[in-house]
Amino acid sequence: MIRSVRSLTLLGATGSIGKSTLDVVARHPDRFRIHALTAHRNSERLISLCLRIAPRFAVVEGGDAAREVQRVFRAEGCRTEVLEGLQGLLQVATDPESDTVVAGIVGGAGLLPTLAAVQAGKRVLLANKEPLVMAGSLFMDAVRENGAELLPLDSEHNAVFQCLPGNFSRDGLTELGVRRILLTASGGPFRDLPVETLSAVTPDQACAHPNWSMGRKISVDSATMMNKGLELIEACRLFGLPGSRVEVVVHPQSVIHSMVEYVDGSVLAQLGNPDMRTPIAHALDYPARIESGVEPLDLFRVGRLDFQAADQDRFPCLRLAYEALAEGGGACIALNAANEVAVDAFLQGRLGFTDIAGLIADTVEGFGACPVSSVDDVLLADREARRLAGSLLDALVGGHA
């Protein structure tokens, strides 16, 4: 069968997901063409990618970053057109010349471009979980109404996707005999550290994940287990199950990427080396399977697979995510916004590791309930929650300044 060449827009090309995606794509020059690459401020990396790949468009934040990219392109005779800021992101996310959008921006900044790609009916490969946490049912309704194809890149959700029958519908998992989703978690770098030492851990320690190589924000999220909390919410939204039917299982080897338990007692798992190129390759050419460059899994070297329950006292962020999911309304938006503010403050050395959960809890509690029935409501709630988290942060760290 001859398959048409896919034309890709890569949102967040300069990040970790961007790097892994470009690695897989480079192995299949006959299958994929890069239409657009986007960055935020890392103009140096964007320039080097564009000089090598020559996409039709490059997007970068306006101002100095954009001027620098344009200057180098002119000097090098590179014909890639430079677009700026959110307008540029929206343009490339919806461009009819591209059929597939990889959502690899970090945080809530990915919401509007990713949603725009969905509304344009694209195949969307979703790594950026925060939009789904923030806009939940609005996002999933947009997928259905616009005939978009949403394929999860997060390794856990991609694993669940692979363990479900090919024709599953998000409203029909119970009819298919699915009892639960078992979401695996490595437990991050601090799984076995004495709890009383956690308050002193540094950003570099938090970013040194034992199994996965990722961007700094998601690495800190993994260390607090808020990443698993966001993934729990993501799983409920993607697969249409309540939080009570998604269990987090700590599995330190990160070889099983998640499991689906059926009513007959079967548990299906997807295994592989912890390398994002596997889920990326799976989704890029789905349903075809393509080489990803990932080493075959050597089960004899792995030797054993361990499992334990997630300790919500050690990792209060996970409990906060379950609670926000149950509360609904704006609670998940506040959770996500406060987490972004707290992680940023931790990475800047302004907030201690164990204060992250407290700041999130206080923000969600102070934010209260709010109706969310449109994207404008989401954006407003996000802004308000960030403002509240920012002022709580100032009050908290002001005393230490």
Residues binding ligand NDP (CB under 6 A): 12-18, 39-42, 104-106, 109, 127-130, 154, 212, 214-215, 217-218, 276
Place of tokens 């002119």: 74
Please state, in angstroms and rounded to a whole number, the distance separating the CA atoms of residues 138 and 123: 17
Work out how close the CB of 61 gets to ligand NDP at its nearest, in angstroms, rounded to a whole number.
Answer: 7
Please state, in angstroms and rounded to a whole number, the distance separating the CA atoms of residues 80 and 13: 15
Please state, in angstroms and rounded to a whole number, the distance separating the CA atoms of residues 235 and 152: 10
- Comparing every residue's Cβ against ligand NDP, the nearest one is 15
Instruction: Specify the residue, 89 or 148, whose C-beta has the smaller distance to ligand NDP.
Output: 89
Q: What is the dihedral of CA 267, 310, 17, 118, to 10 degrees?
A: 70
Work out how close the CB of 53 gets to ligand NDP at its nearest, in angstroms, rounded to a whole number.
Answer: 15
How distant is the alpha carbon of residue 110 from its chain centre? Answer: 10
Instruction: Tokens for 315, please give them.
Output: 């990792």
Instruction: Specify the residue, 65 or 396, whose C-beta has the smaller distance to ligand NDP.
Output: 65
Instruction: Specify the residue, 41 or 383, whose C-beta has the smaller distance to ligand NDP.
Output: 41
Work out how close the CB of 73 gets to ligand NDP at its nearest, in angstroms, rounded to a whole number.
Answer: 16
Instruction: Specify the residue, 86 or 138, whose C-beta has the smaller distance to ligand NDP.
Output: 86
Most distant CA pair in the chain, distance: 67
Instruction: Specify the residue, 129 or 228, whose C-beta has the smaller distance to ligand NDP.
Output: 129
Work out how close the CB of 395 gets to ligand NDP at its nearest, in angstroms, rounded to a whole number.
Answer: 26
Instruction: Specify the residue, 47 or 269, whose C-beta has the smaller distance to ligand NDP.
Output: 47
- Using CA atoms, how far residue 11 sits from 47, 55, 102, 228, 287, in Å, is 15, 13, 6, 23, 22
Work out how close the CB of 243 gets to ligand NDP at its nearest, in angstroms, rounded to a whole number.
Answer: 19
Q: Do residues 20 and 277 touch, judged by C-beta distance below 8 A?
A: yes
Work out how close the CB of 173 gets to ligand NDP at its nearest, in angstroms, rounded to a whole number.
Answer: 22
